[in-house]
Structures are given as structure tokens and as C-alpha cells.
């Protein structure tokens, strides 16, 4: 799947609301092109034109007798050979002391993802794959120790970490790494972000029963309501999502209307909510799963922010609500 990343850099259109113009300031690596394997049919086998004489009838019983004797002798040899092997060596599949349990296996850390040095590991910053050096890269810095939990439901532990971005208006984000059996693969999109300002409490992360337990500001407005919300973060394909029971929701905030949003536009049936504000991002669900999709906005919104996408409030058929992204063209249409 090809995903067009949001535009890099910049600050929000309103300093008290919204993410930097790149709300997910990291994006995934280009996927290697699929292997090209041309196909061409085998040349047809030409039919035989010469006449084949009918086969001569042969006596069968001598051949059958020889086969029966050979099978009997071979069976006895295999039986006695296996009996000897079982008595001397035990289970041929068992690993004996001093043997290598998996010879030729890759050099993965013995402790899995928990043995990874996250202060010096690969990470996506501003749209490119880089490496932390002692927990830092430019104005990005790890904050605290990583948290280990199963994010993608494969039974292996994955990792999440808080990263502080220091600048004129500091903020923080939650980055993820998925364990693929040999290495910690950095996820290209942040799980959440938040301004670092009063009266907002800092985001916190912990291992949860259903992925990552994240506590963050509900409104994310400096000088605004300090209320917090707790969400569960998991994965949909290679994208972070908020897990809400049987539903997947975009990790963006939509429970509090944006400042100055006095209008609501119903876009049900006009656009299918996606997990991220980027072209090519996967749908959150099939159209029949929603009963309503609405966008709350200002009378004259700036449709160029957030890569041309608007935050939508989704109402599922079972009455639950969540968040998604729809193109502004659906709002104006």
C-alpha cells in the first residue's frame, strides 16, 4: 500500500489547538517492489505420429513374488534398526546437552525486544529513518524507559516510548516498535501526541490488557481544560489505532469539538473514514458498520491543514462512537 505522508515541519494554524501541520511527523519506509516473475507457457508437446505396436503379454506372478520377498526383508531391517536407535539415542528430535537448539538462526537478542538498546536504535523522525544516539536525535529525546506490551496481537512483546520534542512550543509523542522475531521494527506513525504546557498533565503509558494503556489530555489545548482520557492503543496493519472493543478508531482526538467549531456537516456515505490523514491509509471499517459520520468545524475552515483531511466523529451501527479522518472535499461537497 502506498501512503502519501503529511507535509513535513511547521507549526499549527492555531497555536492553542491542533498538531503541527504534520500531525503524524513520521511516515513509513518505501516498501520494496514486488518480485517480478514473468510467466510463459511451456511449448506444447507434439503428438506422436508413429504407430506403437501393442505390448506383449508377460507373466506377472514371478515379479510379484520377488517384490513380496524384498518388502519382507526390508521391513525387518527397518524394524531392528529403529529399535536399536531408540534404545541408544532416544527421541531423534530431542535436543541433547551441548547441542544447538536452532543452528543457523539469526543473531536476535536473547531477551527479545526487552534486550534492545532503545537509546541507540532505529526511529522515524520528521519522515526519515534515523537512529537515536544516547536517546537523542536533533531536538527529539527519549523520555523515561520504554514500555513492553503486545501491540499487534501476535503473542510477542512490542515496545512503546515517550519522546519529547523541545522547541519554541514543546510537545511530546508516543512512538512504537514491533518485534518481528529478530529485531525491533520502528512504526512509521506516532500513536499519539500532546502539547507540553500548563495545565495539561504529561502523557503516560503502561502495558495494558489490550495493547498499550495511554492517558492523555482530552482537549489538548494549552491553558484549557485539564481533563484527561484513557485509551488503548493497538495496530491495524502497520498503523496505530485506538482499540474500542470490536472497533478500531483513529488515534486522533475527536471527543471534544475544536475551538470555534459551530457547524456540523454530515458526511455519511460521502467518504469512508480512514485511520490516518494520508492518501492510501486503510479504512477503519466497511461502510455498513457506520450509522453516522459527522465533521464539526468552523464556518470557514482552513482545508489545507492536516494534509487536506478533517477529523470526523463516527457513530457505529451498535451505538458506539470513535474517530476517523475524511477528506475536506467530502465536507464541502
- What gap in Å lies between CA 84 and CA 88, rounded to an integer? 6
User: How does the average pLDDT of the chain come out, rounded?
Assistant: 75
- What gap in Å lies between CA 307 and CA 281, rounded to an integer? 12
Cα–Cα–Cα angle for 210, 214, 218, rounded to 5 degrees = 130
pLDDT 10s digits, 201-220: 999 999 998 899 999 999 99
Which residues neighbour 238 within 8 Å (Cβ) at sequence distance 6 or greater? 28, 187, 188, 189
Domain boundaries, the chain: 112-332
Residue 109's pLDDT band (cuts 50, 70, 90): low
pLDDT for 260: 86
C-beta atoms surrounding 303 within 10 Å: 15
CA quadruple 155, 27, 203, 252: dihedral sign: negative
C-beta atoms surrounding 321 within 10 Å: 15
- What gap in Å lies between CA 279 and CA 23, rounded to an integer? 14
Q: Specify the range with the lowest mean pLDDT, choosing from 56-60, 156-160, 224-228.
A: 56-60
For 55-68, give one letter per residue: b (16+ CB within 10 A) or e.
eeeeeeeeeeeeee
Cα–Cα–Cα angle for 40, 46, 47, rounded to 5 degrees = 140
ω into 199 cis (within 30 of 0):
yes
pLDDT for 288: 85
pLDDT 10s digits, 262-299: 999 999 999 999 999 988 899 999 888 999 999 999 99
- What gap in Å lies between CA 193 and CA 163, rounded to an integer? 9
Integer Rg of the chain from CA:
30
Percent of residues, the chain, with pLDDT higher than 90: 56
285 and 248 in contact (C-beta within 8 Å)? yes
Position 143 pLDDT exceeds 60: yes
- What gap in Å lies between CA 160 and CA 211, rounded to an integer? 10
Burial class (CB in 10 A: 0-12, 13-18, 19+), 277: buried
pTM of the shown model = 0.69
Bridge partners for 158 per DSSP: 149
For cell 456515505, the residue is 269
Amino acid at each position: 500500500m502506498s501512503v502519501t505522508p503529511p507535509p513535513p515541519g511547521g507549526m499549527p494554524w492555531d497555536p492553542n489547538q491542533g498538531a503541527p501541520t504534520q500531525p503524524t511527523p513520521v511516515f513509513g519506509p518505501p516498501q520494496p517492489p514486488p518480485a517480478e516473475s514473468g510467466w510463459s507457457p511451456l511449448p506444447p508437446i507434439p503428438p506422436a505420429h508413429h504407430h506403437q505396436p501393442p505390448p506383449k503379454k508377460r507373466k506377472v506372478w514371478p515379479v510379484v513374488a520377488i517384490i513380496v520377498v524384498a518388502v519382507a526383508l526390508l521391513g525387518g531391517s527397518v524394524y531392528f534398526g529403529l529399535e536399536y536407535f531408540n534404545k541408544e539415542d532416544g527421541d531423534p528430535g530431542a535436543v541433547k546437552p551441548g547441542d544447538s537448539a536452532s543452528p543457523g538462526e539469526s543473531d536476535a537478542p536473547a531477551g527479545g525486544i526487552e534486550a534492545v538498546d532503545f537509546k541507540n536504535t532505529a526511529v522515524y523522525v520528521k519522515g526519515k529513518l534515523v537512529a537515536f544516539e544516547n536517546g537523542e536525535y536533533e531536538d527529539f529525546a527519549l523520555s523515561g524507559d520504554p514500555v513492553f506490551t503486545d501491540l499487534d496481537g501476535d503473542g510477542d512483546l512490542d515496545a512503546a516510548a515517550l519522546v519529547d520534542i523541545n522547541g519554541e512550543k514543546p510537545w511530546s509523542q508516543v512512538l512504537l516498535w514491533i518485534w518481528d522475531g529478530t529485531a525491533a521494527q520502528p512504526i512509521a506513525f506516532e500513536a499519539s501526541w500532546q502539547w507540553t504546557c500548563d495545565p495539561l498533565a504529561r502523557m503516560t503509558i503502561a502495558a495494558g490488557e489490550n495493547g498499550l494503556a495511554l492517558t492523555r489530555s482530552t482537549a489538548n489545548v494549552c491553558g484549557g481544560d485539564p481533563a484527561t482520557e484513557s485509551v488503548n492503543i493497538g495496530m491495524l496493519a502497520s498503523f496505530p489505532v485506538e482499540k474500542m472493543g470490536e472497533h478500531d478508531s483513529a488515534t486522533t482526538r475527536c471527543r471534544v469539538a475544536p475551538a470555534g467549531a459551530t457547524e456540523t456537516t454530515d458526511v455519511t456515505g460521502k467518504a469512508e473514514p480512514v485511520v490516518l490523514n494520508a492518501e492510501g491509509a486503510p479504512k477503519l471499517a466497511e461502510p455498513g458498520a457506520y450509522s453516522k459520520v459527522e465533521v464539526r468545524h468552523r464556518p470557514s475552515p482552513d482545508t489545507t491543514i492536516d494534509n487536506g483531511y478533517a477529523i470526523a466523529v463516527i457513530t457505529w451501527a451498535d451505538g458506539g462512537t470513535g474517530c476517523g479522518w475524511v477528506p475536506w472535499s467530502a465536507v464541502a461537497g
